[in-house]
Structure 1
Amino acid sequence: MQIQGSNTCQEKSFLKNKLTQITALTFVVDYPERWPSFFTDLLQSLSPNPNAVDIYLRVMLAIDGEVADREINHSDEVLRRNTLIKDAMREQCIDQLTDSWYQILTTYETSDPEITCMCLDVIGKFISWIDISLIANDKFVPILLKFMSNVLVRESACDCIHDIINKGMDPVAKTKLIESFTEVLENAGVLNPKEDEEGDFLAKLSKLVNGFGTNLILNWQKLVKISDKENTTAVLQAIESKIPLMFRYLGDEDDDVSGAVTPFAQEYIAVLKQIKPLSQKQLENIKGLVYIVVKKMKYDESYNFEHEGEEEAMFQEYRKQLRTIFNNLAALDVELIIMTVHTIVTQTLPQWETHDVADIEMAIYLLYTLGEALPSTQGQHFTGDPTKATALQEMMRLLVTSRVSCHGHMIVMLQFFETVVRYDKFFNCEPQHIPDVLMAFTDERGFRHRSPQVRSRTSYLFSRFVKGLRLHMNAYLEDILKRIQDLLVLNTPDNGYQRYLSNEDQLFVYETAGSLIVSSTLPVEKKQMLMKELLSPIASKFENLLNKLAVETDERKQTEYAQTINTATALASRVSKGFSNQQTMKMSGCVEIFTDLLQIFLKAVNVPIHRQLIQTGVRQYLHRMVVCIEKEILPFIPMVFENLMKQPDAKELSDFIPLMNQIIMKFKSAISPFLQEMFMPLVRTIFTVLSSPVDDGDQVTATEKKMLQRSYYLFISTIVSNDGLDVLKNQEMQNLHQVLITIVQGAADIPDPQSQKMCFNILKRLIDSWGGKDGIAGFIDFMYESIIPACFLAPLKPTFDFNDGQTALALNECAGCLKTVLEKRGDEMLNYLQGKYLPTLNLPPDSIQEFCRALNSDTKLFRAYLKNFFMKAKS
């Protein structure tokens, strides 16, 4: 093997990578058995040529990637191979390799910084599994320290030291190693760089300080666990001595530098939680952390609120880390946190006109964050501890009365609304402030703000605010509806979508309006009137939209009309969410309003254009009506069903069945006459669609058919679980037999464990109802001829995977079927198994007897036996 430099390698980096990759792959196959001299050959051919050294170092990195990289998942066999390779390297060549690294570092320090950096990377990789003394010694440490002052290689040197101190070691030895590195770096002035130091290097130093701190804390935790008090105290002192360094980097102006040391800060707080009592110095450290965290959470001048990009996203992530530290500090000293926030809020909000945006947002943000930081039961921040309650109440009062909501900047407005909603319980204590907040929501500060982001968020927060203070809303109901009247408009292509809110935002506003009307104490007649005023614009525009869609030829406009029709049904659906078990649609006198609207919506199901989009909206509304009204919904179901049968496809049928299931579960026997009539037409339609041919490459249709098949079995399951057995029983015998066959096929033949589970469950219920003396004609014969064989055929299929969770549930249902047959038929079933069925499986007599004994045991034991029985049969 000869490593030589060449112009080609110099010019073609990918060729170098290919060469090193092939070399590394050859190495792991041949070393140490077939090529024991690999490293000797490698080192002997290493010429004093930068290209040759470059390839050598690339080979070392590639070898690390193959045998030592812990981020790569390896099989047990590969892990064993890698262990043998590393053991052989430690025994045969690691001393020579480290010597070669030293020679490279000293040779190329000034002439080729890139090679020096790569060599430091190699050391950092290998240090995790070689003897630490080979690197942490009087030969290597001085050169690493020297490199920390070399602008061209110092970042790599910093990473290398970080890798060294991350090495798994005895906690006492590692503490000494960290302390020695800290001492030499501090004495050299490296860890306390100048203010104008380059940011990338500062981030590396911060990462190194973080490594010092988190490793020392890990050492401390290990020593605490073994109750080594002497060394625990020494390590804690080492941790405390690093806090000034942590403060320096955590408070750095550059967020990347600050963010690199946040894990140390979090771990240090966790340590302080375990120490009682805290020393004066530790209490001062908590104050220092609070000060730095609050300062660093503030937005800087460059933040682009209108168009947030990657940098803004990174700051938000960094701010989350700081908020976590802030919350954890509250667990250490809640009074300090309350006092800090109180001071900032009371100094900022009364004079908000004189402060910049970042200061105002910070004050409100801290008040908001306090809600997470303070322990609370279901948001009851204004009861209990009087100190906390009084301070919070004072700050909230100041937030509302200071008129800071008039500031106008989008981030201030967003934070204001978030905060008043988080502390909505405050308004139970001081309801006199509710009108001011309602005004802010509904004027140019909220719904009509120039920023779409504020308008959108406000629409959601307003719904939460109103629901949280429902008992106080009655006095303001009509005023609110008047203020938001122009927002309660169905926007159509014809009016040019002149609106403040998007369709999604409007959903919240309509839901809020519905909730306000329903929860009010107004008389029923007044509620009816307000609800009609809310919904009649939708009704009046709906038919017009349908007519326009029917004659429109432009595809873009067709889509717009269809989307608007879908939105209309969605808005009406959301209004209905205002009703509850305590305040039903019937109690509010609104049933007729919603059924009239349903009658109008159902006209849309016959529209052939954008059928799926429109039907989705109508179906959603139907689901809501099933929840909100009683038998008044039933006359409408045949109309939907009749339309469905005209042009059925797998997706439509699959989407319709959950609606039928919902109706069956709610009305049970009341729906039986209709269900009995539509049952076989629906079943035939489903199987016609399922049997239609599908192109091999059409995955969408294949998936839709699989979902329809599953929906079919869920439909049958819903019927048999909700007093609907008569629906099946009253079908013609031939039809019932066909349905039963499909259920047996679903249990035994379909490689879908969810469907199999449902089918076995259906069969178990049918056996329980029809498998005794009073069963239906022919079912007992069917049970023996089809159901019992299915209980054996399904688990014996290659697709029946016993390690799959859903399959395990299917097997449990299968066991339940057999147990239920035994319960209903007793010795008759055992005689059938012993004399007829089990011998056909070529089971020896003793195995047949064992199976029957297990079947007679309790359910849990039989389930375990059945699994072993089939696993043994398949092996």
Structure 2
Amino acid sequence: MRNEWTRRTVALVVCRGVNLSQTTANTLMACQSVTAVMDEQALLGLNPNADARYRQRAMAYFEQLKESQDAWEVCAEALAKGIYKHAGLSAPQQQLIRECLMKWLQCQLINPQPEKSFIRNKAAQVLALTFVMEYLTLWPKFFFDILSLVGSNPHGVDIYLRTLMAIDAEVVDRDIMHSPEATRRNTLIKDSMREQCIPSLVESWFQILQTYQQSHPELTCLCLEVVGAYVSWIDLNLIANDRFVNLLLSQMSMEELREEACDCLFEIVNKGMDPVDKTKLVESLCQVLQTAGFFNVEQEEDVDFLAKFSRLINGMGLSLVQSWTKLAKTGNVKEAADTLQALEAKVPLLLQLLVHEDDDISANVVGFCYDYLHVLKQAVMLAIMKKLTYDDEYNFENEGEDEAMFVEYRKQLKMLLDRLAQVSPELLLEAVRRVFTNTMQNWQTAPFMEVEVAIRLVYMLGEALPASHGAHFSGDAAKTNALQEMMRTLVSCGVSSYQHSSVALEFFETVVRYDKFFIVEPQHIPNVLMAFLDQRGLRHNSPKVRSRVAYLFSRFIKTLHKHMNAFIEDILTRIQDLLALAPPENGFPALLTNDDQLFMFETAGILIVNGESPVERKQAMMRSLLTPLMEAFGLLLAKLLQESDEERQAAIADCLSHAVGFASRTSKAFSNKQTVKQCGCTEVYRDCLQTFLPALSCPVQRGVLRSSVRSFLHRMIICLEEEVLPFIPSASEHMLKDCEAKDLQEFIPLISQITAKFKRQVSPFLQQIFMPLVLAIFEVLARPAEENDQAAALEKQMLRRSYFSFIQTVTGSGMNEVMANQGAENIEQVVFTIIQGAVDFPDPVAQKTCFIILSKLVELWGGKDGMTVLTLSECAVTLKTIHLKRGPEFIQFLQQEYLPSLQVSPEISQELCQVLQEQDVKLLKTYLKAFFQQARL
């Protein structure tokens, strides 16, 4: 084994010598190391003109070197030191080397037995290294000299092909790292070869492939390998032509050549080239292969060949994918469509290979399969993006049925895009960024539908790629950077000035969707604020845009109020005209509707309350905001009382209602951290109450006025705390006069709210108002109605529910005295209505409430109180009535659901149900008393 290693090392030194020193020099160096004294005469034996005696002597030295146990050490040292470099040799010495190599090659032509394979490989490597060093300067006819020498001799052709592969390894192989100097040299070599000799080399390859395919298949295979290696950097037309391709295809049918021919075609397909040309090349090859029957993989039994063939198909598929991707990115629609069609045509063959029982064959096409799925997702995304685009006929100012259908269609497309985002979020993000970036670069000249859909896609990313904890600008760096970059472009490129309303809307929608962006980059806030406030937003010529922007502006301010302190005064000044109450007699259309103004007042309130101004300044700004409303309200209310025309009355009442609503909306700005009292605004809201409450006694348009003032009272109960209590009795008195079912139904929640919030603070008031309210409810419920008047029946049902809900609130607030002080007769009437509600009315919601009330009353009056006995008596009657109507179903409900939920033991449950089924009601009443007394323990 050691001798073999020595022989190979010697061969390496001999053959590698051209690069490190020279063959002769390295050999002599090694011999000298072995024999201690260099025999200078041995050098003469390496000269091609040396006589037989010197050649014999040189051979003896080489044999001695090969057999020596220490020769490998000597050779390694010679390699490491590199004593005899090519550049250090004289011109005659370099010429001697060339002559020596050609002489050796000539000898191979007449040698009946070729050298061993590793010797031929090393010789080829020596020739290749010599070529690299001398081709550009000393030996420009290197290939022509070799070709003229070897001719058609098989041994010579073998060395020629091996040399070409060695040259490829030295000059082209991308897996080998080269210094910048070597890289420049290699580039010059390839350029010179393309210019001087490549056509001749290609012609020699064709002749070799054609000549030796039958007689010497090993040479043909080696030549196919050469073609595959060189095709990556030579003119493809020299190879991809009819005569070459036909020859390769014919060799794919030859058992000894087919695998190498397949590999050669694979390298041809993999050559980098224009995407359109690549598609044509792949399609032409596929057509020929299919015609020749190679696509019938089920009939092919040679799995080794199929493994090569599947690799070829994988290469073809990946090439088509790359071509489609390039064409799609550059906007070549027709060419991209043709390439996609070619790609889809390969899918049946892909699937046949993917499901093949041989795993190697299947594994070879996994890359194609993966990339094809990637293309499908991209193609669908591109189709969705295209179909999201408005057409020229869409009527934005007067949307009809066709427009509604398109809006619905857009929603379906969005759902599809969301689904794709779940599969490939990175792909969607990149596709949107590409479309958006390209469009924003020339938005001034782009059609509105392209600009709108580009911004729309960014907006849709918000739901397609949901943010962690609601933040799109933290977490995943790729997504964060992409979104941040797109938002930066959106707010700084000037597209907010685009004149079409659809683009304006999409701009503001997207700004608000990603309002957290401005926390990360607050420097963009001033520019966006101006867009909201000027003709791009709140003063846009489209009412639709103005209306939507009013809402979006309020959301924007809510999120970023901490960053608004420097702009509060300026914003309030700029929107002052948008906060004015439009009088009903004004015939000029307002910029904003009343509903839009609600958002403006809320926005103003948020700015004032959350600003960093002193309390005195907040108080002054809030009074400045609300005083015009109060002044206008007083004037309009007086005008309403004098107006006789019903239509005018309705218009004035509507305006009064809006004034109250605007004031109420400002109060939404307060919070537990910023209360009305802390902001110094208690007095101004008390003034509002004093201004608005007289409207409750207005004899005309009572429904509208009462509803608005009642809503304001709800807000003040929350905001003013106990400061609102002095206004409640008077307000209640006015609201209970001349009530309708709807009035009472809306009034009861107000009283319930007061009861739940203030509890014993309002006990005296509740005791005073309890029976008047109850009697008013009874009176309305007792009014006759038409038998088929479903609206009236529904109103009574809802009032009855509200009534029971009120009683539940009172009993649940722990104010026993409110009902206890109403007198036995009144309470008996109330309890009767509760029992009636639990049994007689087929309203499950009301029944549930009534049973809760009854249970609470038992808990409150569970002592010696006479009311307890009355309540328990009525409970017993109620239970018997339910049992008579529902029988076993009721017993089952008690035993299996209700009583277990109260943690009543199975024994007690069984006992209660047995008593309940007895005929004697008195027995049940007695039992219930004992039952509840035991339950209290």
**What band does the TM-score fall into relative to the shorter chain?**
0.5 to 0.7
Shift of 1:499: 1.3
Residues in 1 aligned to 2:685 and 2:454: alpha-carbon distance in whole angstroms: 46
Residues in 1 aligned to 2:900 and 2:738: alpha-carbon distance in whole angstroms: 38
Q: Superposition RMSD on alpha carbons, in Å?
A: 3.6
**What residue number does 2:384 align with?**
293
Q: 1:17-47 deviations in whole A, cap 9, x for unaligned?
A: xxxxxxxxxxxxxxxxxxxxxxxxxxxxxxx
**What residue number does 2:854 align with?**
763
Q: How does 1:623-642 map to 2 (within 5 A)?
A: 623-642=714-733
Paired residues of 2:805 and 2:849 also in contact (CA < 8 A): yes
The secondary structure found in structure 1 opposite 2:536 is coil
Paired residues of 1:749 and 1:794 also in contact (CA < 8 A): no
Pick one of 823, 833, 839 that aligns with 2:919: 839
Shift of 1:587: 1.0
**What residue number does 2:451 align with?**
360
Alpha-carbon spacing, 1:797–1:648, altered in 2? closer, same or farther (3 Å): farther
The secondary structure found in structure 2 opposite 1:587 is coil
The secondary structure found in structure 2 opposite 1:491 is coil
Alpha-carbon spacing, 1:842–1:573, altered in 2? closer, same or farther (3 Å): closer
Pick one of 549, 562, 567 that aligns with 1:458: 549
The answer to whether residue 427 in structure 2 is matched with residue 339 in structure 1 is no
Residues in 2 aligned to 1:808 and 1:577: alpha-carbon distance in whole angstroms: 49
Shift of 1:329: 2.1
Shift of 1:423: 0.6
Q: 1:454-510 deviations in whole A, cap 9, x for unaligned?
A: 011001111111111121111111111111000001111133354100111111111
Residues in 2 aligned to 1:680 and 1:433: alpha-carbon distance in whole angstroms: 61
Q: How does 1:402-413 map to 2 (within 5 A)?
A: 402-413=493-504
Shift of 1:321: 2.0
Shift of 1:333: 2.4
Pick one of 372, 375, 393 that aligns with 1:281: 372
The answer to whether residue 479 in structure 2 is matched with residue 399 in structure 1 is no
Residues in 1 aligned to 2:819 and 2:538: alpha-carbon distance in whole angstroms: 54
The secondary structure found in structure 1 opposite 2:749 is helix
Residues in 2 aligned to 1:812 and 1:490: alpha-carbon distance in whole angstroms: 63
Q: How does 1:715-864 map to 2 (within 5 A)?
A: 715-771=806-862, 774-776=863-865, 778-794=866-882, 796-797=884-885, 838-840=918-920
**What residue number does 1:428 align with?**
519
Q: Which amino acid aligns with 1:649?
A: E
Shift of 1:332: 2.5
The secondary structure found in structure 2 opposite 1:494 is coil
**What residue number does 2:413 align with?**
322
Shift of 1:406: 0.8
Paired residues of 1:400 and 1:433 also in contact (CA < 8 A): yes
Q: How does 1:431-830 map to 2 (within 5 A)?
A: 431-496=522-587, 498-771=589-862, 774-776=863-865, 778-794=866-882, 796-797=884-885
The secondary structure found in structure 1 opposite 2:444 is helix
Q: Which amino acid aligns with 2:437?
A: T
Paired residues of 2:741 and 2:795 also in contact (CA < 8 A): yes
Paired residues of 1:760 and 1:817 also in contact (CA < 8 A): no
Shift of 1:783: 3.3
Q: How does 1:95-244 map to 2 (within 5 A)?
A: none
The secondary structure found in structure 1 opposite 2:918 is helix
Paired residues of 1:379 and 1:423 also in contact (CA < 8 A): no
Alpha-carbon spacing, 1:381–1:469, altered in 2? closer, same or farther (3 Å): same
Paired residues of 2:468 and 2:475 also in contact (CA < 8 A): no
Paired residues of 1:760 and 1:813 also in contact (CA < 8 A): no
Shift of 1:731: 2.2
Paired residues of 2:895 and 2:910 also in contact (CA < 8 A): no
Residues in 2 aligned to 1:540 and 1:801: alpha-carbon distance in whole angstroms: 67
Paired residues of 1:524 and 1:588 also in contact (CA < 8 A): yes
Residues in 2 aligned to 1:542 and 1:513: alpha-carbon distance in whole angstroms: 19
Larger Rg: 2
Shift of 1:351: 2.0
Q: Which runs of 5+ in 2 are unaligned?
A: 1-313, 322-330, 334-350, 352-364
Shift of 1:695: 2.4
Residues in 2 aligned to 1:801 and 1:469: alpha-carbon distance in whole angstroms: 62
Residues in 2 aligned to 1:652 and 1:614: alpha-carbon distance in whole angstroms: 11
Residues in 1 aligned to 2:896 and 2:703: alpha-carbon distance in whole angstroms: 36
Paired residues of 1:791 and 1:814 also in contact (CA < 8 A): no
Alpha-carbon spacing, 1:327–1:834, altered in 2? closer, same or farther (3 Å): closer
Paired residues of 2:854 and 2:871 also in contact (CA < 8 A): no
The answer to whether residue 476 in structure 2 is matched with residue 371 in structure 1 is no
Q: 1:559-581 deviations in whole A, cap 9, x for unaligned?
A: 10011111111111111111111
Q: 1:97-155 deviations in whole A, cap 9, x for unaligned?
A: xxxxxxxxxxxxxxxxxxxxxxxxxxxxxxxxxxxxxxxxxxxxxxxxxxxxxxxxxxx
**Between 756-765 and 303-312, the greater mean CA deviation after superposition:** 303-312
Q: 1:654-708 deviations in whole A, cap 9, x for unaligned?
A: 1100000011110011110110111112112211221122222333222222211
Paired residues of 1:350 and 1:398 also in contact (CA < 8 A): no
Shift of 1:837: 8.7
Q: 1:64-116 deviations in whole A, cap 9, x for unaligned?
A: xxxxxxxxxxxxxxxxxxxxxxxxxxxxxxxxxxxxxxxxxxxxxxxxxxxxx
Paired residues of 2:623 and 2:684 also in contact (CA < 8 A): yes
The secondary structure found in structure 1 opposite 2:389 is coil
Q: Which runs of 4+ in 1 moved over 4 A?
A: 275-278, 800-803, 811-820, 829-837
**What residue number does 1:248 align with?**
none
**Between 789-798 and 558-567, the greater mean CA deviation after superposition:** 789-798
Residues in 2 aligned to 1:830 and 1:796: alpha-carbon distance in whole angstroms: 18
Residues in 1 aligned to 2:670 and 2:892: alpha-carbon distance in whole angstroms: 41
Shift of 1:839: 2.7
Residues in 1 aligned to 2:594 and 2:765: alpha-carbon distance in whole angstroms: 37
Q: Which amino acid aligns with 1:389?
A: T
Residues in 2 aligned to 1:276 and 1:664: alpha-carbon distance in whole angstroms: 71
Residues in 1 aligned to 2:806 and 2:400: alpha-carbon distance in whole angstroms: 48
Paired residues of 1:368 and 1:418 also in contact (CA < 8 A): yes
Over the matched positions of the two proteins, sequence identity in percent amounts to: 46
TM-score normalised by the chain length of structure 2: 0.57
Shift of 1:831: 10
Shift of 1:428: 0.8
Paired residues of 2:858 and 2:872 also in contact (CA < 8 A): no
Shift of 1:812: 10
Alpha-carbon spacing, 1:512–1:813, altered in 2? closer, same or farther (3 Å): farther
Shift of 1:725: 1.6
Q: Which amino acid aligns with 1:571?
A: F
**Between 532-541 and 363-372, the greater mean CA deviation after superposition:** 363-372
Residues in 2 aligned to 1:590 and 1:276: alpha-carbon distance in whole angstroms: 71
User: Size of the alignment, in residue pairs?
Assistant: 572
Residues in 2 aligned to 1:427 and 1:301: alpha-carbon distance in whole angstroms: 34
